[in-house]
A and B are shown apart, each in its own frame.
Chain A
Amino acid sequence: MNAPSGSSLHHNKSRHGGLTSHVLDVLCPMHLIVDAEGDVIHLGPTLRKMFAGLGVVGEPFLETFDLQRPRGVTAITDLRLAEGTKLHLVVRQPPQTALKGVVVPMDGAAGNLVVNLSFGISIMDGVRDFALSNADFAATDLAIEMLYLMEAKSAAMEASRKLNLRLQGAKTLAEEAAMTDTLTGLKNRRAMDQILTVLVEGRTPFAVMHIDLDFFKAVNDTLGHAAGDHVLQVAAGIMIEETRESDVVARVGGDEFTILLPNVSNEDTLRRVGQRIIDRLCEPIPFGEAVCRVSASIGTVWIEHGERPSIPDLLENADVALYASKHAGRACQTLYTPELRSKPHLRQPPPGRRGG
């Protein structure tokens, strides 16, 4: 790094005290010298650049600088008392640069003070506002290294931030994929379990609807898997259409679906929703030349305000209700009541459904 240059012969030779100002210019390019009257009589090379054309030399120090700390310094005699302490100053002229400084009396010169200044934390603003270069800082000053570091670190942070955004996008997609049934686009069992956990923890009433397609096996056996897949997709569409956006429709097994309905205030609502789904699923589903006919059995559990059932109990109750629907001749919905459990022939879940 080059030594600060550009001082005139006059400045190089002049002596304001124990140190020649040339020495100070090299070691502290942001120093200034104030005489006993409080007038600025010399500026270091970097300050000369900053105050070019402002006529600071010859003017009172306190007219150029607003001393904010220590407070109450209005005369140069007060400044003398602040020797060695850290000064907080603001240049009165725009852009009102904030500076840090320290003042020391000059050896040998009658009443002269040296004030050495620094940008402190506002270094970035300083180099920009005054178009400073490497040469404007002392060779031993770490300012350039700090600027380098700030710039290098922000470039690295920016690259990391972009990577994080890409990774976050990929994570969201992966999570979405892990939560979705690929055939129907509905939520899968893992997603349903998570949402159910939240509902059970919560305090609002909600309902769980187990839906089993009737005669689905027959469609698969007679018309093939492509027809079966088509029926599942149509059924999924119907369930989405007949429920609210806040309801969660999941495919939890081959032809088994679960709908979670938050904020359900009464059983009538459930009866209506269930009936609509059954009615629509009973309509014939065209598949190419063929027509697929299925229907649906539904078992529903309504959790009223304040009830905190365990998830396995809840799912088992829904199964009991579903089995009651199957037993009642299919294409119907049963709302769970504890009395269902007292009918021994209903207590066993229908084949193909998991317990709990």
Chain B
Amino acid sequence: MSILPYIGIAVTLIIVILLARPMGSYIARAFDYTPGRLDRWFGPLEKGIYRVGGVRQENQTWKQYAAAVLISNTVLLLVVYMIFRLQDKLPLNPAGIGAMSPDLAFNTAVSFMTNTNLQHYSGESGLSLFSQMTAIVFMMFVSPATGIAVAIAFIRGLAGKPLGNFFVDLTRAVTRILLPLACVAAIILIGLGVPQTLQTGVTAQTLQGAQQQIATGPMGTFLAIKELGNNGGGFMGANSAHPFENPGGISNMLQIMLMMLVPVSLPFTYGKMVGNNKQGRVLFVSMMMMFIVILSVSLVSEHQGNPLIQQAGIQQGTGSMEGKEVRIGVEQSSFYSVVTTASETGAVNTMHDTLTPIAGMVAIGNMMLNTVFGGSGVGVLNVLMYAIIAVFLSGLMVGRTPEFLGRKIEGREMKLIAVTLLIQPLLILAPTAIALMAYPDTISNPGYHGLTQVLYEFTSSAANNGSGFEGLGDNTIFWNVSTGVVMFIARYFSMITLLAVAGSLLMKKPVPETSGTLRTDQPLFGLVFVVAVVIVGALTFFPALVLGPIAEQLTL
């Protein structure tokens, strides 16, 4: 066992931790409506966009904001659905790829609009160059921008300010955060070996004298926004395990940093926007500690490898290598699998179906929690929801009306949050049960692992993650429609309920802080927050995990 890959992991995490705070305050400034220095840079371009778009820069109520989110996303969903259905007739289709079936086009359109990027097709054979460069890349910018906008509106509500304007926030998320960073990241990634060409393939005459068709494409620009926007959908079927989509150790590290950047920064954005940096730091530290514990479990499991391979007399000095790439190695693959599920990105550099059972369970567990750190924007929304739950639980224990940031948390808010909490297990467990009964033939791996495959697919859909246990035969009408519906409800239900919570808090009179107020910027609150996440989030799914990955591990 070499210590070097672990140093690589530590260095990556330290860089991410150092970037989180400055990036968090940058995001806060980017969405500040009072004129500032950033307006000089981005103002002219944005004014042009508002003029062409007909956007009036006025504050919206929570209902108007939610309506703008829903309507805009639905309109775009219909447009990209049409592109997928008509891609055989549209230009830029050198490989002659056919139209998508209605159910697959529905699934793919919902998947990319909801920032999930679950893929029931393979990039090389399922999408034309036009679809990749327009529908997919456009969704990869707009869907994380939508998530960030809603999170910012929610935080404004907590801070007692008007929620803002959705179209202004969406534009700013693109012009001030996603687009500039994607440009820089794309150029670095291309320098590291990611192709960037409008040719979709080359033919090579191999050393053994055979013909090898090599698929290429404009992958550098695609990859940058795929990771930065917590999208995760691969240009190629094998995603970031493909040597073009992840040529080496540095590109792997860079992708991990891009996936974590926005989610780890948003707690600091929250702190800054509510005028108390400590509020954000408490949440960040609590989550980072949970992350490191989760990562360690995965690393230990992967390093031990597969006992069945050991029995065949093969030495597994390097750990479990099935489904992994040599240049990346076991440790960096395990790290990537934890980061991609923690940040709800869904990009993979190793096939998650082949992970050792406990590492697979860690991946599912991350998506079930959906808070450490969660996706672009929606992550911090969930985190703040758990923070309110933690405040509520503490309030119950001491017998006072709970307060959060100087506003009383009462029946209406808690009802909305309770429904939001309950919808997630319903969206995961109910369809899992149906699929296990009705479609066991789509499962590719026998035994306990088969149950995990189905559970993983719906968990990934409900968390808007998008990775999969890809052995599952999921391009069927049942899987396309059921996961499409789950992705849609999971994405927009919590956005609407939480915007309603923000709208409701905004109406309340602030109460002065007294000596009896629970301080939410202290380490003790961090502990209560962690306990709330573990009890409410993890225990819900424990029985399902026992039947799947834990049973598989025990019987290996």
Whether chains A and B associate is: no
Query: Could you tell me which A residues sit within 8 Å of B by CB distance?
Result: none
